[in-house]
Structure formats: structure tokens, C-alpha cells
Amino acid sequence: MKVAAGKPLRFNVRAYGIWIHKEMLLVSEEKIFGRTVLKFPGGGVELGEGLIDALKREWMEEMNLKVEVDSHFYTTDFFQQSAFDDSQVVSIYYRVHGQNSQEAIRNMNADERSFWLPMSSINEDTFSLPIDKVVGEMLRLL
């Protein structure tokens, strides 16, 4: 990515959760700038916010789910320009678990839905976004 003279490089830091329950993975489908994407639940870290706090906030905002973080899973280790603006995306993924393992998740935004997919069907082609594809392949190899 070439940065225009005088234009600062922006980082877009994202925190995502990987919840696997009974060999099922929770995924989210969202419309982002008119494009439907299948992704891991989570989203952007706000200025002054920690990664885990951001992850917990995003899950509450999107699905009204309280999650606990079990462990770090993956952090982007390559350059990835955002598909939606000129920022560089850095995504951090955590293994999480929820307080309840309900089959149907009620999303707070009408344009979003979250649902369970069998782990046996998860691979890089499951997901829409480049970094999620890497994590999808990592999960396939577990």
C-alpha cells in the first residue's frame, strides 16, 4: 500500500471471538457497505479500549451475549488492506465461550444474523474476508 504524501497510515484494529460448542462454530452474517459477508462475531476496537473489552462489547452489542475469553487464537501476521477503506487491518481472534449455548442467537441489528455451522464444514472458503479465511483454514486443521 502506498501512502499519499502527508496522509497518515491508519490501522483498523479488530477483535473477534471463536465459539465452538458441540462441534458447531458460531458465525455472523452482516451487510457491510451493501456487501453481505460471513465472518466471525466481533468488530472494531475503539480508541482507549482494550482488546478483550472490545470483544465483549461487540458481542453484547451484536447478539446480546456475554462471553468469557478462554485464550488467544491468532493475530494477523501479514499486511491486509481493508476491503472498505484505505486502512491496514489487524485482527485478533480469541477462543471464547458463552453463558448459554442457545441454538438460535437473536441479533440486535435487523441486518445481521448469527448461526451455528458444523465444524466439519469450516475451511477458508466458509468466510468472506481475507483474514477470516486464514483463521477458517486454521480451524479446519485442528
Q: Tens of pLDDT along 19-47?
A: 999 999 999 999 988 899 999 999 999 99
Structural contact between residues 67 and 18, judged by C-beta atoms closer than 8 angstroms:
no
Residue 56 has pLDDT above 60, yes or no: yes
Sign of CA dihedral 125, 79, 54, 72: positive
pTM: 0.91
- Give the model confidence (pLDDT) of 85-98 as tens digits: 889 999 999 999 99
Is the confidence at residue 1, as pLDDT, over 50?
A: no
User: Is the pLDDT assigned to residue 74 strictly greater than 90?
Assistant: yes
**What cell was used for 8?**
497518515
